[in-house]
Amino acid sequence: MTSAGMLAVYPDTPSVELARTLDLSGYSWKGVATPEVMNRLQPSDGWMGAIVSCDDDPDGGWAMCRALRRLDQPVRRILVMITGAQIGDLEIRENLFDDFLLTPFHPRELEARLRHMFYNELTAPSSSVVEHAGLRLNLETYQATFGGRPLDLTYMEYELLKYFVQNPGRAFSREVLLSEVWGYEYFGGARTVDVHVRRLRAKLGEEHAHLIETVRSVGYRFGASKWSG
């Protein structure tokens, strides 16, 4: 997919793998070294989104995220790149990013996450929809609603929820969920599943958080909803 608009990429010398993936996927991007440079290079219609590496320089990366949020035209789609050891840092910085990707990363995962970030801005006719107990997932546009209310999900939150919805009533271990949802080699470990489940529960709302049940000594199960429409 090729998206119109310009991505800001921090730092200004991204890894060869990141630059290659963006180029091959058809994205236009500019490297930015500091918030001042970012302001100077900002397109007239604003940045389409941003990819911020926080793995090697966490302080600089999070400072860039804050600067992107404070622009006159704030960046609405920010993907941060972190190490598995930094997952715990996400909880206190949830307002600074929209999705995250663990490094080292697989190019297909980066492509999929970016695709989701920008598909989520669009509306399109539904031709492939999964529904369960008030949840409605459009498999083509990556849009999700619950009782008609839009859910603003990251790519992996969406993929995990889709897997749950397609397999209601079954209990899955964290290891199985990592294998089935994340696929290939993933470096986050079981804690990654817990982080995504916590975020999903928060976005479903307190009244419906019970939809994703914790099964003691096993993992998680997607249960029946009390939502009545």
pLDDT tens-digit readout, 94-118: 889 988 999 988 888 898 888 877 7
Can you list the domains of the chain with their CATH numbers? 6-119 (3.40.50.2300), 129-222 (1.10.10.10)
Please tell me the predicted confidence (pLDDT) of residue 122. 43
Half-sphere exposure of 187 (CA within 13 A, CB side): 15
Question: Which is more confident, 228 or 172?
Answer: 172
Per-residue pLDDT at 226: 46
Confidence at residue 192, expressed as pLDDT on a 0 to 100 scale: 84
pTM of the model: 0.60
* Residue 227 predicted with pLDDT over 60: no
Encode pLDDT of 192-212 as tens digits.
Answer: 889 899 999 999 888 888 889
pLDDT above 80 (res 119): no
Structure tokens at 119: 């598909």
183/148: higher pLDDT: 148
Question: Under 8 Å CB-to-CB from 137, ≥6 apart: which residues?
Answer: 129, 130, 131, 143, 144, 158, 161, 162, 165
